[in-house]
């Protein structure tokens, strides 16, 4: 457990050293890989996040999804849990918890119950990952809880290569994405 905290701190520190320019260039590469992936092309709904704090920037994915007529959802935090709400433009956002942009209250909640596998793609952030696709987030457990019973959703994590670490000791509630996309490669099971 201590190891998890230490990895989180070390990776966040390394990520803070990325310049704005590097963050944009690497993010752009990652966005290209995501939008050309069959899971993105097939999805009717794409669950994304509003990047903050040197996370992979998601703007290009969101805009492409709108261009293709897909439903775009981003999270809003309610205490210790989160839900996704549909946004149709960046004007549907306001500043929320942790200073992250969140959907306004008028935005409709996205229901995932009963969706066919493939209809929904989730693109999630994280702090650190290993090549077995174990994940460490900010420590709130928000993604772990939300995706706990959602086997019908394709889960893709996006990260910079510097967020890949040799080994993470996963706990039983930890969410394991189906695939990780970095600016260098895809980590997917064969
Ligand atoms: N962009 C984005 N949105 C998201 C998440 C996320 O990881 N990224 N979340 C995923 O859970 C949820 C918000 N959860 C969060 C939980 C804790 C902290 C937090 O403690 N932040 C510290 C900064 C940490 C650091 O960089 O040193 C802070 O704001 O002080 C932030 C978000 C929902 N929305
Ligand atoms: N399914 C769950 N139900 C209830 N509590 C949970 C669940 N999953 C995780 N938690 C709690 O959330 C806390 C944080 O978990 P963890 O450190 O793995 O978060 P994280 O994966 O880094 O964060 P996030 O998912 O927000 O990105 C843990 O203390 C854990 O007890």
Tell me the C-alpha distance between 69 and 171, whole Å. 38
> Does residue 1 surpass a pLDDT of 60?
no
Distances (CA, A) of 103 to 45, 67, 98, 169: 16, 19, 14, 34
pLDDT of residue 142: 97
Ligand nearest to the CA of 139: 2
Q: Using one digit for the tens of pLDDT, what is the confidence trace for 68-120? A: 999 999 999 999 999 999 999 999 999 999 999 999 999 999 999 999 999 99
With cut-offs at 50, 70 and 90, classify the pLDDT of residue 189.
confident
Q: Using one digit for the tens of pLDDT, what is the confidence trace for 158-184? A: 999 999 999 999 888 999 999 999 999
Of 173, 174, 175, 176, the residue with max ligand 2 atoms within 8 A of its CB, to mutate for a pocket test, comes to 173
Residues near ligand 2 with C-beta < 6 Å?
A: 136-145, 148, 173-174
With cut-offs at 50, 70 and 90, classify the pLDDT of residue 2.
low
Tell me the C-alpha distance between 37 and 89, whole Å. 23
Q: pTM for the complete prediction? A: 0.95
pLDDT of residue 12: 98
Tell me the C-alpha distance between 30 and 24, whole Å. 10
Tell me the C-alpha distance between 126 and 35, whole Å. 19
**Distance from the CA of 188 to the center of ligand 1, in angstroms?**
25
pLDDT of residue 119: 98
Residue 73, ligand 1, Cβ within 6 A: no
Instruction: Tell me the ipTM for this assembly.
Output: 0.90
Q: Using one digit for the tens of pLDDT, what is the confidence trace for 30-79? A: 999 999 999 999 999 999 999 999 999 999 999 999 999 999 999 999 99
**Distance from the CA of 55 to the center of ligand 1, in angstroms?**
10
Closest-CA residue, ligand 2 atom 7, reads 145
- What is the domain partition of the chain in residue ranges? 4-184
| Angle in degrees, 0-180, between the axes of helices 59-67 and 20-35, rounded to the nearest 10 | 30
Closest-CA residue, ligand 2 atom 14, reads 141
Of 77, 144, 165, the residue with max ligand 2 atoms within 8 A of its CB, to mutate for a pocket test, comes to 144
Q: What are phi and psi of 71, to 5 degrees?
A: -85, 130
CATH number of 4-184: 3.40.50.10420
Tell me the C-alpha distance between 79 and 76, whole Å. 10
Phi/psi-derived region of residue 139, left when phi > 0, alpha when psi is between -120 and 50, beta in every other case: left
Q: Using one digit for the tens of pLDDT, what is the confidence trace for 132-154? A: 999 999 999 999 999 999 999 99
């Amino acid at each position: 457990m201590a190891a998890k905290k230490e990895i989180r701190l070390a990776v966040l520190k390394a990520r803070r050293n990325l310049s704005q320019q590097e963050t944009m260039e690497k993010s752009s590469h990652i966005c290209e890989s995501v939008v050309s992936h069959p899971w993105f092309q097939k999805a009717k709904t794409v669950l994304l996040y509003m990047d903050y704090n040197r996370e992979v920037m998601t703007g290009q994915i969101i805009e492409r999804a709108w261009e293709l007529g897909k439903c775009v959802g981003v999270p809003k935090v309610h205490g210790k849990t989160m839900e996704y709400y549909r946004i149709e433009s960046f004007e549907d956002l306001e500043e929320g918890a942790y200073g992250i942009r969140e959907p306004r209250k008028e935005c409709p909640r996205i229901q995932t119950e009963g969706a066919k596998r493939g209809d929904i793609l989730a693109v999630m952030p994280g702090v650190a990952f290993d090549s077995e696709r174990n994940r460490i987030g900010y420590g709130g457990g928000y993604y772990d809880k939300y995706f706990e019973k959602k086997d019908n959703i394709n889960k893709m994590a996006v990260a910079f290569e510097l967020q890949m670490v040799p080994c993470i000791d996963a706990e039983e509630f930890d969410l394991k994405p189906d695939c990780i996309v970095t600016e260098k490669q895809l980590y997917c099971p064969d």
